[in-house]
Amino acid sequence: MAMASRTDAAVCMLCEAICGLEVDHDGRRVHAIRGDPNDPLSRGHVCPKGVALADVQNDPERLRRPLLRNGDGWKEIGWDEALGRAATALADVQRRHGRDAVAVYSGNPTAHSPGALFFGQMLADALGTRSRFSTVSLDGLPRQLASFELYGNQALAPVPDLDRTEYLLVLGANPAVSNGSAMASPDVVRRLKDLRARGGRLVVIDPRRTETAKLADEHHFMRPGTDALLLAALLHVLFAEGLVRPGLLAPRLEGLGEVRDLVAPFSPERAAPQTGIDAATIARLARDFAAAPRAACYGRLGTCAQEFGGLASWLIDVANLATGNLDREGGAMFATPAVDLPAVARWVGLAGGFGRWRTRVRGLPEFGGELPVAALAEEIETPGPGRIRALVVHAGNPVLSLPNGGRVERALGSLELMVAIDVYRNETTRLADLILPPTFGLERDHYPLMGHAVAIRNTAHYARALLVSPPGSRHDWEILLGLAERVERARGGVAAVKGWLRGAVGRALPPRRLLALLLRLGPHHLSLARLERAPHGLDLGPLEPRLGRVLGRRRIRVVPERMRADWPRLEAKLSAPPPQAAARLVLIGRRALRSNNSWMHNCARLVSGTQGCVAQIHPDDGARLGVIAGERVALRSRTGEIRVPAEVTDDVMPGVVSVPHGWGHGRPGTAITTASAHPGASINDLTDDGFVDALSGTASLGGVPVEIEAAERRGAGAPAGATARR
């Protein structure tokens, strides 16, 4: 029965940019999605993924009912049976092997769903396991560690005051494609153009001439993994030339002078051969940055998921502190979100703590209660007490997202039990025993808790669910709560009482109520009713200085002990023989406007037309290695091999190969037909779970050594997909 189409406002939950949407729908199906011109933050911007949200929403392959593995096939079962079976089996593994034998992995979409965030924590608590993993250790962990060390809370992130800055130094981020990460900045291309139009300067440091670099005044190629060297050299110049001026921040800082000693050996001349940026340019960049009346240094995935992620992320803040740009208009500021995320993180136990315990096999440090996910496969494979035997994967696709995906795939296949909470049967969830599919997207109320906390303008946007879900559907939070209470009940005794209580409290405080409470307690003291009267979002104004509130009486210890302890590693890098580009190729990743990590390739409009998964290689390397544009190459690393078509382009630095992540579809047992018809290969069959930032345990997804070979020479007609090899 066709229903009348109407148009409602919504807010996109696919990424941090939190764009306002205008949705044409009939209450069951989405007809079209456009940007909402009345949204005070996104001002009508929408990206191809936001438009394609309609396709995921309507996708007949999106799962609606729980699936139980049944031999080689799957059987649909009811929710009570599904939750009951999952909880009983999880409790059983814990009874036999101990609490830590059940691990949980929270994927990226959980960060964009308050219900998933709150209730995911509840499930992990009910399981009582220390085997907690998430994408944080593939992503922003070093950034969070810097905030933890400097400001005492990892959920605090300094955000470039994009609309007012006059100098933006971008390292390892590509906002023109990502729409800003830890910098929610929808409509970012216009904002970057505005920056330049008002006389400001945009400088990009990246081993690839990115879409953002093409908008910039200056772009410099830099060898992957050398940001910390560059930043140390910039600080060296600032100290040497008397350009360190913390201004109003001075009374807040403790030990800024210690930085001078640390960076003393890092002259531009010594940093140049390692970074690939010449000494004169490094010195000039330092002077320009210091001379700008308001400037911000900003780094993202490229400065985090790398060998020196912790030091690089910290030095970015030191550069902002040393020039007085932290917490000042046009510098790097803290958002004042309507829900005080750092406070919430503290309450739910996600803030605080580093290295309080370590992974069993490799001794990688805990952070915020979680362990580095690069250790997941070895923790599953290595026998002994505490070995992981079961896994709950919530909104994640570790087979395609984790380093050494081939090993991850084998490890997941060897588990006694895997429960997936996901909307697709994909590369990961096909390995599960049970798939529990929640409602999706516009079927639930949304408030972008995380996006607001890192936004370049203070706004608050609450959207009610627009679509009705099929009868009996469960939201993510209901599934998590259902599992949590049942796991405890399955344990019996006192735990059963706790489970019963947990269920009662959870149902009495669903996400909507929790949110209403947190909004009231937040710095703007908003009511949910007020937000509901502003369906396009409420404008709360530009960013405001906030350091006093954030720190209280605390002072910023500029050189934290942990950073100092890691410093010799950077000094060793400075003194190492400079790399010869020709001798060693290194791999970096790439994002595209029409991909959302690994999971939106089932939308025809995102995969049609141009080929997504190609390896970019510099013409010099191409000529030397006999790579022909458009032809397939074999890329090999310690962990595996993939074959993809090559694009020969001087958009990448010599010595560097760029491959996008999130591909590698078409595996048997998946039910994503469109994605499988455009499989590509997974870059993470090449990345290395053994290659992490030694300080933080974060996976180093960039800078992986690879060999490249024109595949034709190794036999024509090679398969399109990945062939993992050890």
Ligand X SMILES: Nc1nc2c(c(=O)[nH]1)N[C@H]1C(S)=C(S)[C@@H](COP(=O)(O)OP(=O)(O)OC[C@H]3O[C@@H](n4cnc5c(=O)[nH]c(N)nc54)[C@H](O)[C@@H]3O)O[C@H]1N2
- Tell me if 257 sits within 8 A of 244, measured CB to CB: no
Size of the site for ligand X (CB under 6 A): 62
Q: By C-beta, is 188 or 230 nearer to ligand SF4? A: 188
Nearer to ligand X by Cβ, of 51 and 244: the residue is: 51
Q: Calculate the alpha carbon distances from 586 to 335, 500, 581, 635 in Å.
A: 36, 53, 9, 11
Q: Is residue 208 involved in binding ligand X (CB under 6 A)?
A: yes
The candidate with the shortest Cα–Cα distance to 360, out of 350, 373, 375, 344, is: 375
Residue range at the interface with ligand X (CB under 6 A); choices 132-140, 159-167, 502-510, 516-524: 132-140
CB-closest chain residue to ligand X = 302
**30 to each of 26, 44, 655, how far by Cα in Å?**
7, 19, 46
Q: What is the DSSP string of 622-676?
A: HHHHT--TTSEEEEE-SS-EEEEEEEE-TTB-TTEEE--SS-----TT---HHHH
The token pair that represents 680 in the structure block: 């590509």
Q: Does 462 bind ligand X (CB under 6 A)?
A: no
Q: Is 108 in the site for ligand X (CB under 6 A)?
A: yes
Closest distance to Mo ion from the beta carbon of 388 (Å) = 23
Alpha-carbon span 430 to 61, nearest angstrom: 13
The neighbouring-strand residues paired with 418 are 391
Report the alpha-carbon distance of residue 356 to residue 367 in Å, rounded: 8
Q: Is 174 in the site for ligand X (CB under 6 A)?
A: yes
Torsion of CA 106, 110, 111, 117, to 10 degrees: -90
Does 16 bind Mo ion (CB under 5 A)? Our answer is no
Closest CB to ligand X among residues 314, 522? 314
Q: Per-residue x/- mask for ligand X, residues 597 to 636, rule CB under 6 A?
A: xxx-------------------------------------
Residues engaged in binding ligand SF4 (CB under 6 A): 12, 14-15, 17-19, 46-47, 49-50, 179, 186
| Residue 207 binds which of ligand X, ligand SF4, Mo ion, none (CB < 5-8 A, kind-dependent) | ligand X
Distance CA 271, CA 230 (A): 6
Bridge-based pairing state of the strands 102-106 and 390-394: parallel
Q: Which region, judged by CB under 5 A, interacts with Mo ion, from 62-70, 137-145, 384-392, 618-626?
A: 137-145
* Rg of the chain over all Cα atoms, to the nearest angstrom: 25
Q: Which does 50 bind (CB under 5 to 8 A by kind): ligand X, ligand SF4, Mo ion, none?
A: ligand SF4
By CB under 6 A, tell whether 50 contacts ligand X. no
- DSSP letter (8 states) at residue 183: S
Q: Which of 617, 563, 611 is nearest to 588 (CA)?
A: 617
Instruction: Please tell me whether residue 42 binds ligand X under the rule CB under 6 A.
Output: no
Q: Which does 12 bind (CB under 5 to 8 A by kind): ligand X, Mo ion, ligand SF4, none?
A: ligand SF4
3-state helix, strand, coil split of the chain in percent (to 5) is 40, 20, 45
Give CA 87 to chain center in angstroms: 29
CB of 293 to ligand SF4, least distance (A): 30
Task: Return the structure tokens found at 413.
Answer: 């296949």
- Regarding 637 and contact with ligand X (CB under 6 A), the answer is no
Residue 174 site contact among ligand SF4, Mo ion, ligand X, none (CB < 5 to 8 Å, cut-off depends on kind): ligand X
Q: How far is the CB of 703 from ligand X (least distance, A)?
A: 6
Residue 46 binding: pick among ligand SF4, Mo ion, ligand X, none (C-beta 5-8 Å cut-off by kind): ligand SF4
**16, 39, 139, 641: which one contacts Mo ion (CB under 5 A)?**
139
Q: Which is nearer to ligand SF4, 17 or 259 (CB)?
A: 17
Nearer to ligand X, 172 or 721 (CB): 172
Angle (deg, nearest 10), helices 561-575 and 227-240 = 100
Residue number with CB closer to ligand X (452 or 491): 452
Per residue, the 3-state secondary structure of 401-469, as one string, reads HCCCHHHHHHHHHCCCEEEEECCCCCCCHHHCCEEECCCCHHHCCECCHHHHHCECEEEECCECCCCCC
d(CA 663, CA 679): 6
Residue 331 Cβ, how far from ligand X at the closest point, in Å?
A: 19
Contacts with Mo ion, residue ranges (CB under 5 A): 139
Contacts with ligand X, residue ranges (CB under 6 A): 15, 107-109, 113, 135, 138-139, 171-175, 177-179, 181, 205-208, 210, 222, 224-225, 227, 300-303, 306, 394-398, 401, 421-424, 426, 438, 440, 476, 588-589, 591, 593, 595-599, 661-662, 683-684, 687, 701-703
